[in-house]
Amino acid sequence: MEQVCLETPGAVTSGGSARFLSRGATIVLLVPLALLLAVGFVYPIAQLIKISFFSPDFSLESYRRIVADPLYLLVLGRTFAVAFCVMVLCLVAAYPVAFAMARLQGRNAAIVAACVLIPLWTSVLIRSYAWIVLLQRNGIVNSVLLDAGLISEPLKLIYTEGAVILAVAHVLMPFMILPLYSTLRSIPKELSQAALNLGAGPVVTFLRITLPLSTPGIFAGCVMTFILAIGFYITPTLVGGPSSMMIATLIGQQTTVLLDWSFAAALSTLLLAVTMLLVLVFRKTISLNKGFNGVN
């Protein structure tokens, strides 16, 4: 039976059962996106890099300050360390939730999905203050531990790096769960059933089939949580305090308090460059996995 494909002259071309836009139509559709990307991303980044080098004449003084003062490198290193811990914590805590969401059906799946999505509708500021209530000296956690007799005096839980990691991980958890859920949902259940029928146990089936095929979701979730954690401003400021300053807080101080735009631009440019390098290295490492290559 001959296959019929309806076309609009000059707009689409057909090949088999597929329909493709012509080159002209493709360009017309991509122009608004390209303009939005250029105005909203490329131009601001270019201006940022320009300010870091030209203030007003070409100079590397801002970058020399970053290297010369150990404080700035310490803040930068702390930022990446906290972001990495947040990423790992989110991955460990989110994978079982995403796995359960992908396997559940009906009402149970809807309840779990609501528990994941509802926090996204809550302000980050409110969630940060909630952690202050929980972790402060006279907060709920210390009160419970004192009443249970596990401690003799309140612990210092707030204004620590541990509090920052916990609070930021709580805020970013949905950004890890959703990519994992999408990937796990797309894995055919027949693969796991076939492995079980061939004698593989649940652990071996998970390690040899489910985990490798979920690598794209792991990569997407890790990249999103890592990058978002690096740029977090409100939560580290409220929960961490001055002793746990991160790079976003430092950049904010340079722009709003000290009005040193050149140095703030240099910090931002350095942060952007290191972040892109780490993402490329991470992607190269993950791409060696057969599951990642297979899905893509």
pLDDT recorded at residue 177: 93
> How many other CB atoms are found less than 10 A from the CB of residue 82?
24
| Tokens linked to 36 | 């939005």
Query: In this predicted structure, what is the pLDDT of residue 2?
Result: 42
| Full set of structural domains in the chain with CATH | 67-295 (1.10.3720.10)
Tell me if 47 sits within 8 A of 129, measured CB to CB.
no
Write down the pLDDT at residue 6.
42
Strand residue runs (E) in the chain: 12-15, 18-21
Query: Which pLDDT score is estimated for 26?
Result: 85
Where b means 16+ CB within 10 Å and e means fewer, 172-206 reads bbbbbbbbbbbbbeebeeeebeebeeeebeeeebb
Distance of CA 29 to the CA centre of its chain: 29
Other CB atoms within 10 A of residue 270 CB: 19
d(CA 143, CA 145): 6
Pairing of strands 18-21, 12-15: antiparallel
Q: Splitting the chain (296 residues) into consecutive groups of 10 residues, what average pLDDT does each group show?
A: 44 51 84 90 88 80 86 89 94 93 83 84 86 88 87 86 92 92 88 82 86 88 90 86 83 84 89 85 69 45
pLDDT in the model for residue 95: 94
Q: Residue 8: its pLDDT value, please?
A: 45
pTM (two decimals): 0.80
Identity of residue 14: S
Amino acid at 63: Y
User: What's residue 289's pLDDT?
Assistant: 55
| Size of the chain in residues | 296
pLDDT score of 85? 95
What is residue 145's three-state secondary structure? helix
